[in-house]
Structure 1
C-alpha cells in the first residue's frame, strides 16, 4: 500500500523566511473594551512594563517586546473550529484579535514599538479581562491616535546548497478622527529544515541489510499574503472589519538512490497548493461605565489541492486529494463590571462548518478503494457561556465559568452518518498572591477538544507506503485538567515558575485498525481513556549580576508522560505523537553603545513516536541553534543577520514494520533514514517611514 505524506513542512516554511521580516506598522486603536485595573505592583496581579523597559533591545514591534517580557512565553493559540477557546495568550487593548487565520505573532509584528504605550502582564486574572482559559496573559496597550506609518523590509536566506530564498514585506496604515485603516502584503520563499540528504537502510530482524540507499530530497515553496482592516464609529460604538487572503505552493522532491542489493532510482514528487480567505467584523459599544456589548462575525474558506507521484520501476503510484472547507461564526458577549473587584460576562456562539473532500489513489494504474475517500461533512455547533472574575481580597482572585456546547455532525458520500454531541465545560481558577514576589495559581477545568475534519477522510503516503482510512464517526477527546503553578520573582526582572498539570483523558484520539472485506487499514479512532502528566519550568534570568551587562537568558522546558491502552496489543503505551520532552532557550545581550543586540536561539531536539496496527514510527529531530545580531544603522533602518542551523540539524526516522497486526505478527523489517540539513545565512533590512 502507498500513502501520501502530509506536508508538515509548511509550518516550518512559515517559521523561516515568511514570518522573518519583523514589521513596524501602526495599527488603529483597538475597539472599546472594559478597562483594565490600574497598573500596580505584582500583588495586584498586573505588572506594567513601559517602553523604556524594552528600549535597550531596540524592539521594532510588539512581538519583539513580548519576546523580552520576563516570565512570559508566547502561545499563538490552537487551530480549532469556532472562536471560543482557540485564542492565544496575548491581547491588544484588552481584546483578542478577531482573525483566526492571521497568526497572532504576525499581528503583533504589525504593531510598531513606537505605538505601544505599555505592555501589561496579567497573572491569574483581572476583572473585565477574558483570560481565554490561560493563567498568564500579555496585554499590549497602544497609544491613542494614529498617523500615517509604513514599513518596507527585504530579506534573503542563503541555504547551504546555494538556494536563495528571498522575501519582501510592505505595510501601511493611517487614519484620523476614529477612522483608521491598515494593509500589508508579504511575499517570500521558505524551506523545510527537517531533512534533506543522508543515508537510508532497511534491515531484517536478524540485522542483515536488505536495502541500502542514498537519499537526496528538497522541500521548499512560496507563500503570498494580503491583509487589511478598517474601523470607524458606528451606532455609538465602533466597528472594525478585517480581511486576509493567503496563497501557498509547496513542493517536495525526493530521489532515493538504491545502491544495494540492485541499483535502482526511486522518486517521489509532491505538490501542495492552498488558498485561504477570511473576512471578519467586530462591533463594540459601551452602555455607560459598566456595560459593554461585543458582536463578532467571521467567515473563512480553505482550498487544498495535493498531488503526489511515485516511481520505483516497474511500480508506479499516484495520489490526488482535493479538499474544500468553510466556517461561518457568529458570536455575542455582554460584559458587566460591578466594580474594580468583580466582573461578569455571558454570551453565545454559533458556527457552521463544511468539508468536501475527494481522494484518488492508483497503484500501477489500478484504482485502490480507500475507506472514506470521498465525503461531505457538515457540522452545526452552538455554545453558551458565562464567566466571572472576583478579586476577593488583594491577595486572592477567583475566576469561574461554565460553557455548554452542542453540535450536530452529518456525513454523506462514502460514509453516511448523523450524530449529536453535548458537553458541559466548567472551569475554576484561583490565584493567591502569597507575597509581593510569590504567586500561586490553581486551575481545574473540563477541556473538550475539537474534531479535526482531516481525520474524517482518507489519506495516503507514497513515501512510506502507508494508507490511512478516514473515520467520520469520531468523538472529541475530553480531559479533566488539574493544574498548579508557583511563580517566584527575583532580582527585579528575574522570574522562575513551576507548573504541574494532570489530565484525565476520555475518548483519546489515536490510531486503530479498521477492517474491510478485503483489507485492513489504519485510521484515527477513539481508543479509550488515558492520562497525561506535564511538568513545565519557565525561567527569565537577567545576567547583569553575573557580570554580563544587558544580558538575559529566557527558556522553557516541558516534560510529559502519558498512558493509554494500545488498541492492537492491549498493552499500556504512550499516546502517539506526544513529545516526552520539549525545550527552547534564548540568550541575548543589549549593547546600547553600539546600537546593537546579539544573541543565540536554541530549539531543543525532540522525539515523537506513533503507533499503527502494523508499525511503530520514531521521529527524532536534533537541536536547532541560531546565532543572531541586529544593528540600528539609522533611527529608521535596522539590519539583522542570522546564522540558521549552525548545528546542521537533521531528522532521523525509524520505522519498525510488522508482517501484520503487532499483537500476532513478527517484525518484517526496520527502515531507518538519517537526513541532514545544512547551515544558512539570513539577512534582513527593515525600513520604517511616516509619523
Structure 2
C-alpha cells in the first residue's frame, strides 16, 4: 500500500455519513454465517462471481492442493449451490470468473464443518446461482515492460454461459500468458572475496497457454444431475539468457543459453449423481494427459580463440491420470454420512538425452540412462465420513480410512514397492455469535511424490545434476489447525489461522551413497504456520468506499540437514509474506483507484556441495486506476514495480562435500526488472 493511500485512509475526518446511498449494503447473518446479497457488491460493478467473492471482507480464495494426483475429498474453500467444482484442469478462479454476476443470487459464508461435504473446514463461500439466460463475458489483458521483453498483447478470456431446457453450458476460450525479463550484473568471487569473473546477463522469456474449456450440466429430473467437463490446451514457453563474463586477465566469455518447452494437454471428466436407497450416489470419472517437449542448451565462446564448450539437454515427458471415484451420502442418526472410494492410476514416461559440443561445433550424445524411464502409481483409498450438529453452536465432522498405493519404476533403476497408510481427520466448529467462530481440525495426511524425482535430470545453466532415486516414499504428517474468524462490524473482519505440522519421511535433497544428490526422504520435520487476513473498511471514519486488505504469513520450520547435521528451514519454502492492498471505489462515480505492496522471504535451498537462494524483491508495489463504465466496459490500468524490486540469486559452491570442504566460489546476481505496465478491458455481451 502506498504512503499516500495509507495517510488518506488514516487521516480522513471521523464523521461518518449516516445516510449515504453509495455505501455498501450490509451483509446479513443467520445461524450458519454471513449472507452477501448482490446489492452488497454493486459499488464494485462486478462482472462475475470471482469479482464478488474477491470483495468479501476477510475471505481469501484457496484453490486447495491444486495439481495433486487424484480427486480426494474436497479441499477448496468455494462451492457452488452446495457442490464442489468437478474440473481439475481449470483453477478455482478460472471457474468463478465464468459465472456471470447476474446469475449470483447470494453468497453464503459458512463453516465447512457444518456442511455435508467431507474435507471442508473453516470458512467456505457457497455461491447460490440461478441461470438468467444466455450471456457472455470477455477480458482482454495486455501489458509491457520497459526492459528486456516484448509486449504482452493476446492475454484474456471470452466465455459464453447459458441454458437450454434442462441443459446448462459454459464454453470458454482463454490464453493465460506473460512476458518477463531482467538484466544486470553477477559477481563470481573466491572464498576471500577476490574477483573470479564479472558477468552481465540479459534474461527474457514468454509463455502462452491457449485453451478451450467447456462444461455441460444436465438435469434429468428426480434429483439426477450429470456434469461433463472437456478441455484442451497447448503450452508454449521460451527463454533466452545471453551472458558476457570477463575475468581479471581480460578474457571475455560469451554464453548463449536458451530454453524452450511446448506440448498439448487435455482433460475429459464427468460425474452423475442420483438417488440410491436412503441417500444419493455420485459416480465420477476423469482422464487427463499432458506432454512436455523440453530442450535446454548452453554454449560458451571465448575471446582468445579457444574451442567453444557447451551442452544440450532434451527431455520429453508424457504424464497421464485416470480416476474413478464414487461418493455415497445419506442421513442417519441425525448426522450426514458419506462413504467414498477412489482408484487413481497415474503414469509418467520420460525420455532424456544429454549432448556435449565437440571440436567441430556439433552436439554429440552422451550416455545418460538414469534420465530415461517410467513411473506408474496405482492408488486406492476408502474413507467413511460423518458430519453432525452437536448443539446449536457446536458442530463436528470426522473421517477415517486407508490408502493403498503401488509404485513401479522402469528404466535403468527399475523397482516396485507398495504402501498402506491410514488417513483421516476430526474437526470441531464453534460459533457462539454470528460474527465470531472457531474451527479446530486434526488431520492425518499422506503426501504425494513428484514422479520426476525418481529419474535423473540436468540444470545446465547452474551446472547441477539431480540423480534419480527409486527408493522414494510418500511423506506422512499430523496436522493441527485452528481458524478464528471475527467480524469487526462496520470496520470489516479478520481471520487468524494457526497450523502445526509434524512430518515423517520428509522429502528434500539428500546425498546418494556413491556421490551426487537426489530428492529423497531425510527424516522427521515440523513446521508452524501463522496467517492473518484482515479487511478494514473506511466507512466508520468517513472514507466511504475505501478498503484495506492485509495478508501476513510467518512460518517456523525445523529439519535436520542430511549434509551437515544442522537444523534449517525446508528448501525453497516460504519464511514470511506480507501482502497489503488498498482500494477506493469513489462514491457516486464509476472510478476506483488503489495501490498495493507485496514482499516475500523464501528459505534457501541446501544441496551436497552448495547452498543458495533465488528470489525477487525486496518489495513490489503497484498503483492502479479503474473506470467501470467506459461505453459499458470496465477498464483498468496499472503501474507495477514502482519501488524497483530486482531479480536476485546468490549461492555458495564448495570444492567438496559440506560442511568440511573449502569454498570454491560465491555467486551474487542482482538484475533489474524495471517498471511493469498492465492494461485490461472487461465486458459482457
| 1:455 aligned residue | 453
5 Å matches for 1:12-411? 41=29, 44-78=31-65, 79-85=67-73, 87-130=75-118, 132-143=119-130, 145-161=131-147, 163-167=150-154, 168-187=156-175, 189-192=177-180, 196-234=182-220, 236=222, 237-261=224-248, 262-286=251-275, 291-313=279-301, 314-338=308-332, 342-364=335-357, 365=363, 367-370=365-368, 372-411=370-409
**Deviation at 1:254?**
0.5
**Deviation at 1:148?**
1.5
1:481 and 1:565 map into 2 onto residues whose CA distance is 20
**Deviation at 1:140?**
1.3
| 2:595 aligned residue | 600
1:376 and 1:582 map into 2 onto residues whose CA distance is 38
| C-alpha contact 2:107 2:126 (8 A) present in aligned 1 | yes
Structure 2, unaligned runs of 5 or more? 1-26, 302-307, 358-362
For 1:84, what is the secondary structure of its paired residue? coil
For 2:114, what is the secondary structure of its paired residue? coil
**Deviation at 1:68?**
1.1
Give the stretch that moved more between structures: 598-607 or 265-274.
598-607
Residue deviations 1:53-73 (CA, integer Å, cap 9, x gap)? 111111111111111112211
For 1:580, what is the secondary structure of its paired residue? strand
**Deviation at 1:524?**
0.4
| C-alpha contact 2:98 2:161 (8 A) present in aligned 1 | no
**Structure 1 residues 299, 146: CA separation in 2 closer, same or farther (over 3 Å shift)?**
farther
Structure 1, unaligned runs of 5 or more? 1-38
2:298 and 2:573 map into 1 onto residues whose CA distance is 30
| C-alpha contact 1:398 1:429 (8 A) present in aligned 2 | yes
2:141 and 2:479 map into 1 onto residues whose CA distance is 43
For 2:61, what is the secondary structure of its paired residue? coil
**Deviation at 1:572?**
1.6
1:558 and 1:103 map into 2 onto residues whose CA distance is 23
**Structure 1 residues 408, 287: CA separation in 2 closer, same or farther (over 3 Å shift)?**
closer
| 2:410 aligned residue | 412
2:168 and 2:544 map into 1 onto residues whose CA distance is 41
5 Å matches for 1:479-494? 479-492=477-490, 494=492
| C-alpha contact 1:442 1:483 (8 A) present in aligned 2 | yes
For 2:87, what is the secondary structure of its paired residue? coil
Give the stretch that moved more between structures: 621-630 or 536-545.
621-630
**Deviation at 1:311?**
0.7
2:50 and 2:546 map into 1 onto residues whose CA distance is 19
2:370 and 2:527 map into 1 onto residues whose CA distance is 30
Q: Which has the larger radius of gyration?
A: 2
Residue deviations 1:523-566 (CA, integer Å, cap 9, x gap)? 10000011111111121111222332111111211111111111
Give the stretch that moved more between structures: 551-560 or 619-628.
619-628
For 1:541, what is the secondary structure of its paired residue? strand
**Structure 1 residues 189, 538: CA separation in 2 closer, same or farther (over 3 Å shift)?**
closer
Match status 1:498 vs 2:496:
yes
| 1:21 aligned residue | none
1:178 and 1:408 map into 2 onto residues whose CA distance is 42
Match status 1:565 vs 2:560:
yes
For 1:471, what is the secondary structure of its paired residue? coil
Q: Give the ranges of 4+ consecutive aligned residues of structure 1 lying more than 6 Å apart after TM superposition.
A: none
5 Å matches for 1:530-549? 530-549=525-544
2:487 and 2:678 map into 1 onto residues whose CA distance is 36
1:618 and 1:86 map into 2 onto residues whose CA distance is 34
1:86 and 1:575 map into 2 onto residues whose CA distance is 27
| 1:676 aligned residue | 672
1:524 and 1:279 map into 2 onto residues whose CA distance is 32
| C-alpha contact 2:491 2:538 (8 A) present in aligned 1 | no
Residue deviations 1:461-512 (CA, integer Å, cap 9, x gap)? 1111111112232111111112223322112462122222211110000001
| C-alpha contact 1:45 1:124 (8 A) present in aligned 2 | no
| C-alpha contact 1:178 1:232 (8 A) present in aligned 2 | yes
Which structure is richer in relative contact order (CA contacts within 8 A, separation 6 or more)? 1
1:359 and 1:575 map into 2 onto residues whose CA distance is 28
2:102 and 2:630 map into 1 onto residues whose CA distance is 15
**Deviation at 1:41?**
3.2
**Deviation at 1:243?**
0.6
Match status 1:552 vs 2:547:
yes
| C-alpha contact 1:202 1:671 (8 A) present in aligned 2 | yes
**Deviation at 1:366?**
5.3
| C-alpha contact 2:74 2:117 (8 A) present in aligned 1 | no
**Structure 1 residues 155, 620: CA separation in 2 closer, same or farther (over 3 Å shift)?**
closer
Q: Give 2:641's match in structure 1, choosing from 608, 633, 645.
A: 645
2:300 and 2:28 map into 1 onto residues whose CA distance is 67
For 1:633, what is the secondary structure of its paired residue? strand
Give the stretch that moved more between structures: 79-88 or 292-301.
79-88
Match status 1:576 vs 2:571:
yes
Residue deviations 1:92-151 (CA, integer Å, cap 9, x gap)? 212221111111111111111111111111125224233x344221111112x3412112
For 1:53, what is the secondary structure of its paired residue? helix
1:292 and 1:188 map into 2 onto residues whose CA distance is 38
Residue deviations 1:603-632 (CA, integer Å, cap 9, x gap)? 223223110011101123212222222212
TM-score, length of structure 1 as denominator length: 0.89
2:167 and 2:631 map into 1 onto residues whose CA distance is 28
| C-alpha contact 2:291 2:318 (8 A) present in aligned 1 | yes
Residue deviations 1:259-304 (CA, integer Å, cap 9, x gap)? 333222112100011321001101122459x722211111100101
**Deviation at 1:234?**
4.0
| C-alpha contact 1:446 1:480 (8 A) present in aligned 2 | yes
5 Å matches for 1:624-663? 624-633=620-629, 636-663=632-659
For 2:604, what is the secondary structure of its paired residue? strand
**Deviation at 1:330?**
0.7
